[in-house]
Amino acid sequence: MLDLPPPAVGISPALPPRDRATTLASLAQLMRLPNQSGTFLLMLPTLWALVLAFHGRPPLTLVLIFAVGSFIMRTAGVIMNDLADRSLDRHVERTRMRPLASGAVTIQQALLLLVLLLAGAIALLLLLNPLAIMLSPVAVLLAALYPFAKRVLSLPQSVLGIAFGWGVIMAWAAATTHLSLSSWLLYAATICWAIAYDTIYALQDRHDDLRIGVKSSAILFGRYVWIAVASCLTTMLLLLGLTGWMNELNVAFYGALAAIGGFLTVQVMALRKNIDPSTAFRLFQHHVWIGAAVLAGIWIGCV
């Protein structure tokens, strides 16, 4: 963990090199640069949509746009989240040393970085078709609303799923200039998936969240978390299977889904016990590979 400094006032040529380096390191931590699991979890469903819409051969240009866009929007999202939660984060063991909570990064610095990221997102959007551009404000609105969901909703993970899944809708629109039933099925599958993996992620903070009054699906489902996660993941697989059937994917796709289902069954069984935060985080990270396996299955199913 970084040795975080007192609240900084900004990056300036007048600062000694060591202070500038420390501030840059804190900004990197604010952006979650050392951990890109969230970027992959946002990006992979957009690639599912692109590969399926183009029958296995999406243009490299669109792949790069959505890959870079996923990094930008995930980073913007975590900054919005940390700005909204900086007071709450100080009372949670896992988050109390985040740069905004600890004062290592100022609100002004975070806002400036957020504006730069959103400007980059707008530049990428201008490369897409009018329908994708028209849909883009919804993505920003959902990213801004999510940090506040845990204050009012018992299932804030559903808002995360709606936000992360919106990339599927934008990718499909960018690929086809229209939205079909397949795009909405992929969107629903992504929402179910996000509820499942973010519920696992929330297990890390369940005790602190109960203490400070923050809501989460890990608290809502209690000792039935494993059933809730299993239900979401089963629904996800069924929706993916239906999407594959509608798009006439070959048998290899269903073989991939079966293998993924077997892996997820093992994970769900692990949730039947009380797991420690490090185990919960490890199970959460496995979902990056699950998303990649779905992507490979869709691609193989198209060829």
Round the average pLDDT of the chain to a whole number and report it.
Answer: 90
- Given this model, what pLDDT does residue 173 score? 96
8 A C-beta contact, residue 29 and residue 98: yes
Q: For residue 57, is it within any domain?
A: yes
H runs (alpha helix) in 153-250:
157-176, 181-202, 206-212, 217-221, 225-246
Q: Is residue 21 part of a domain?
A: no
User: Rounded to whole angstroms, how far apart are CA atoms 152 and 48?
Assistant: 32
Q: What pLDDT was estimated at residue 161?
A: 95
CB-CB contact of 148 with 84 (8 Å): yes
Q: Is residue 243 part of a domain?
A: yes
Q: CB–CB of 149/24 below 8 Å?
A: no
Tokens describing residue 41: 């979890």
Average pLDDT over residues 37-43: 95
For residues 101 and 10, the model is more confident at 101
Closest CA to 114 of 86, 82, 146, 90: 82
Q: How confident is the model at residue 147 (pLDDT cuts 50, 70, 90)?
A: confident
pLDDT category at 213 given cuts 50, 70, 90 is confident
Range of the domain at 177: 36-302
Span 135-157, average pLDDT = 90
Read off the CATH number of the domain in which 96 is found. Answer: 1.10.357.140
Confidence label for 8 from pLDDT (cuts 50, 70 and 90): very low
The answer to whether 65 and 124 are in contact (CB under 8 A) is yes
How far apart CA 227 and CA 231 sit, in angstroms, is 6
Give 16's pLDDT tier (boundaries 50, 70, 90): low
Lowest mean pLDDT among 102-106, 122-126, 259-263: 102-106
Residues 117-144: what's their mean pLDDT? Answer: 94
Q: Which residues of 85-104 are buried (b: 16+ CB within 10 A; e: fewer)?
A: bbebbbebeebebbbbbbeb
The whole-number pLDDT of residue 17 equals 53
11 assigned to some structural domain: no
Neighbours of 146 (CB within 10 A): 21
Asked if the structure places residue 28 within a domain, the reply is no
Q: How many CB atoms lie within 10 A of CB 80?
A: 21
For residue 277, give the H/E element and its range.
helix 277-302
Q: Is the predicted pLDDT of residue 175 greater than 50, yes or no?
A: yes
Give the separation between CA 190 and CA 232, rounded to whole angstroms: 10
Cα–Cα distance between 19 and 282 in angstroms, integer?
34
The pLDDT confidence band at residue 239, using thresholds 50, 70 and 90, is very high
The share of the chain scoring above pLDDT 70, in percent, equals 94
Q: Residue 18: which pLDDT band, with cuts at 50, 70 and 90?
A: low
Q: What angle do CA 158, 225, 203 make, to 5 degrees?
A: 80
d(CA 283, CA 226): 12
For a pLDDT cut of 90, what percent of the chain falls above it?
Answer: 72
Is 43 within a domain? yes
Provide the domain count of the chain.
1
**Residue from 224, 190, 27 nearest 106 by CA:** 27
At 21 the pLDDT is: 79
Banded pLDDT at 5 (limits 50, 70, 90): very low
Mean pLDDT (whole number) for 253-257: 97
pLDDT at position 241 over 80: yes
For 75-120, the pLDDT digits (tens) are: 999 999 999 888 888 888 888 888 998 888 999 999 999 999 999 9
pLDDT, tens digit (0-9, with 9 covering 90-100), for 270-300: 999 889 999 999 999 999 999 999 999 999 9
* Mean local confidence (pLDDT), 207-227: 90
Residue-level pLDDT at 7: 41
